[in-house]
Chains A and B, each alone.
Chain A
């Protein structure tokens, strides 16, 4: 009986360890690990990053001297062709996430985020 109890306990411990090990091996969801920002009808500007060979969208962090969010699209084609003009003002909605593969900020006050999803984008009326 004692031996049975011992082996049962041992099995439980091993099973528990095994379970924990498999849990730690479970891949972490990318959206849970990274910060996400959903923007809605955000005013911004399109520009062209020569170093990335990509059109990007930037927008100003209000009430700062130089705070800027630089949104790099996951795919170049996300930005409509007729809006691919440096300096053009736009309004856009979508999902931004942190991405460690993106280049680091170049300027003081800059945050660089991935434009993971672009729900809508149109010309800002007062251009």
Chain B
């Protein structure tokens, strides 16, 4: 081969190494990376230590960029996820959709995420719109029916925020897909509860399984159930255990990932899904197709009690709020909401917040979601601190939206330095579906 021809050939080979990045190719790549656990679907962080210094603005910006996925674009989050994939598969870590990576992606997969340790039972519900009802209630620790309704709805909302599933409470529990009851000892299903401690609850896998019991969740009345955090000695968080049991009701088995909601052990309140839980449930039911995703800037935040703030600063895309010691407050966002699109009324999947706090002296405790003046979801006793760059708060029954969405955030500030009592909000948004 002549020298010229050889150079041309080499040049042609270099071009062929990198496949043209069409947006459809990238979307497929993103779906694959999401399914197999390479994205960090949420950036929850609980507790940052007492004296974590504030992040420099550029580092915070990079953190923001890396947690947001823009469909069809090789954005920072997609590049990072692709690098993880390449590292895991022993490929050259380029962050580019090169030929070797494409060949690896094309290899037939078994459907089990590389980074996930979840396990599925095999059964799944044939409908995405599930109902639940209560056979009875507990009165432990002053729990009322209304409080229990809210707690159970909060538990279902965790799963609703990541899937096409919706969960609607019905008055007649006998007709519900998922029947909930508080019982002790033998209770007619061949799996007696064993008193305080031991088994806390159990739930049946989806149909066809266990006949009429399929999907049902039973809670041991002999336990001391609470919705308060901290729970107190000997008490069990109802929201956490319910969310775990509903994972079984939906078809998930236990996960080996310590820190996931489906890990077999209870180690205190955990009112959020781990990436492994999300990977597991979306493997069974898939994700949802967003029809609209309106967002509002952090500088639009409204403060209910301005006199309880020591300082409020707006800079760039942040609002920095410094609470006075030992105070609570409510912050509000009003989301510009397209309620009708293509002549169809839209439904809400979840609200999303982007925020950070600089210590556990500044906590987000409650997130309430409103449609007009009607509260449609309540996430309570969250105790969120640290970096939360894409925190979802689901609405269990995915109702149609009529008047426009509002998000109210209940916060608390303890004692500590000014910076420890700092909370930054970047943006608030929501996912709407058809």
Interface of A with B (CB < 8 Å)? 45, 47-52, 56, 58, 60-61, 63-68, 70, 86-87, 89, 104-110
What is the minimal beta-carbon distance from B350 to any residue of chain A, in angstroms?
25
Query: In whole angstroms, what is the CA distance A29 to B203 when docked?
Result: 36
Which of B105-113, B189-197, B404-412 participates in binding chain A? B189-197
Check: B252 CB closer than 8 A to any chain A CB. Answer: yes
Q: In the complex, what residues of B have CB within 8 A of residue A60's CB?
A: 194, 198-199
Closest to A49 in B: B190
* A47 and B244 contacting across the interface, CB-CB below 8 Å: no
Q: In the complex, what residues of B have CB within 8 A of residue A86's CB?
A: 186, 190, 192
Query: 8 closest Cβ contacts across the A-B interface?
Result: A108-B248, A87-B186, A86-B186, A49-B190, A106-B210, A64-B264, A60-B198, A66-B202
Query: In whole angstroms, what is the CA distance A89 to B192 when docked?
Result: 10
A–B pairs, 20, beta carbons within 8 Å:
A45-B186, A51-B190, A51-B210, A60-B194, A61-B264, A63-B264, A63-B265, A64-B266, A66-B245, A87-B185, A105-B205, A106-B204, A106-B213, A107-B202, A107-B210, A108-B252, A109-B202, A109-B248, A109-B264, A110-B202
Query: In whole angstroms, what is the CA distance A107 to B189 when docked?
Result: 11
* B266 and A65 contacting across the interface, CB-CB below 8 Å: yes
Closest to A126 in B: B195
Q: In the complex, what residues of A have CB within 8 A of residue B205's CB?
A: 105-108
* A65 and B265 contacting across the interface, CB-CB below 8 Å: yes
Q: A105-B205, A108-B249 are in contact. List 9 more A-B contacts (CB 8 A).
A: A45-B192, A49-B190, A65-B264, A66-B202, A68-B202, A106-B204, A107-B205, A107-B210, A109-B254
Chain A interface, >50% SS class: loop
Closest to B236 in A: A65
Closest to B262 in A: A108
Report B154-207 residues with CB < 8 Å from chain A CB: 185-186, 190-192, 194, 198-205
Q: In the complex, what residues of A have CB within 8 A of residue B253's CB?
A: 108-109
Query: In whole angstroms, what is the CA distance A104 to B190 when docked?
Result: 14
Query: In whole angstroms, what is the CA distance A51 to B208 when docked?
Result: 14
Report B229-277 residues with CB < 8 Å from chain A CB: 241, 244-245, 247-249, 252-254, 264-266
Q: In the complex, what residues of A have CB within 8 A of residue B202's CB?
A: 66, 68, 107-110
Closest to A66 in B: B202
What is the minimal beta-carbon distance from A15 to any residue of chain B, in angstroms?
41
Q: Known: A107-B205, A108-B205. Contact between A66 and B194, CB under 8 A?
A: no
Closest to B185 in A: A87
Chain B interface, >50% SS class: loop
What is the minimal beta-carbon distance from A83 to any residue of chain B, in angstroms?
13
Closest to B195 in A: A89
Q: Which of A48, A63, A66 gathers the greatest number of chain B CB atoms within 10 Å? A: A66
Query: In whole angstroms, what is the CA distance A86 to B241 when docked?
Result: 25
Q: In the complex, what residues of A have CB within 8 A of residue B200's CB?
A: 65-66
* B264 and A56 contacting across the interface, CB-CB below 8 Å: no
Check: B136 CB closer than 8 A to any chain A CB. Answer: no
Q: Which of B121, B190, B194 gathers the greatest number of chain A CB atoms within 10 Å? A: B190
Q: In the complex, what residues of A have CB within 8 A of residue B254's CB?
A: 64, 67, 108-109
Check: B316 CB closer than 8 A to any chain A CB. Answer: no
Q: In the complex, what residues of A have CB within 8 A of residue B211's CB?
A: 51
Q: In the complex, what residues of A have CB within 8 A of residue B201's CB?
A: 65-66
Contact flags B128-164 to A (C-beta < 8 A → 1, else 0): 0000000000000000000000000000000000000
Query: In whole angstroms, what is the CA distance A107 to B249 when docked?
Result: 8
Q: In the complex, what residues of B have CB within 8 A of residue A87's CB?
A: 185-186, 192
* A65 and B191 contacting across the interface, CB-CB below 8 Å: no
Partner of B244, one of A51, A65, A68: A65
Q: In the complex, what residues of B have CB within 8 A of residue A56's CB?
A: 190
Query: In whole angstroms, what is the CA distance A109 to B249 when docked?
Result: 12
Q: Known: A66-B201, A87-B185, A108-B203. Contact between A47 and B252, CB under 8 A?
A: no
Check: B51 CB closer than 8 A to any chain A CB. Answer: no
What is the minimal beta-carbon distance from A46 to any residue of chain B, in angstroms?
8
Query: In whole angstroms, what is the CA distance A104 to B199 when docked?
Result: 20
Closest to A60 in B: B198
What is the minimal beta-carbon distance from A5 to any residue of chain B, in angstroms?
49
What is the minimal beta-carbon distance from B256 to any residue of chain A, in angstroms?
13
Query: In whole angstroms, what is the CA distance A104 to B254 when docked?
Result: 15
Closest to B213 in A: A106
Q: In the complex, what residues of A have CB within 8 A of residue B199's CB?
A: 60, 64-68
Check: B209 CB closer than 8 A to any chain A CB. Answer: yes
Query: In whole angstroms, what is the CA distance A51 to B204 when docked?
Result: 15
Q: In the complex, what residues of B have CB within 8 A of residue A48's CB?
A: 190
Q: In the complex, what residues of A have CB within 8 A of residue B186's CB?
A: 45, 47, 86-87
What is the minimal beta-carbon distance from B231 to any residue of chain A, in angstroms?
14
Q: In the complex, what residues of A have CB within 8 A of residue B190's CB?
A: 47-52, 56, 86
Query: In whole angstroms, what is the CA distance A5 to B367 when docked?
Result: 87
Closest to B250 in A: A108
Query: In whole angstroms, what is the CA distance A105 to B213 when docked?
Result: 13
Q: In the complex, what residues of B have CB within 8 A of residue A68's CB?
A: 191, 199, 202
Q: In the complex, what residues of B have CB within 8 A of residue A47's CB?
A: 186, 190-192
* B265 and A64 contacting across the interface, CB-CB below 8 Å: yes
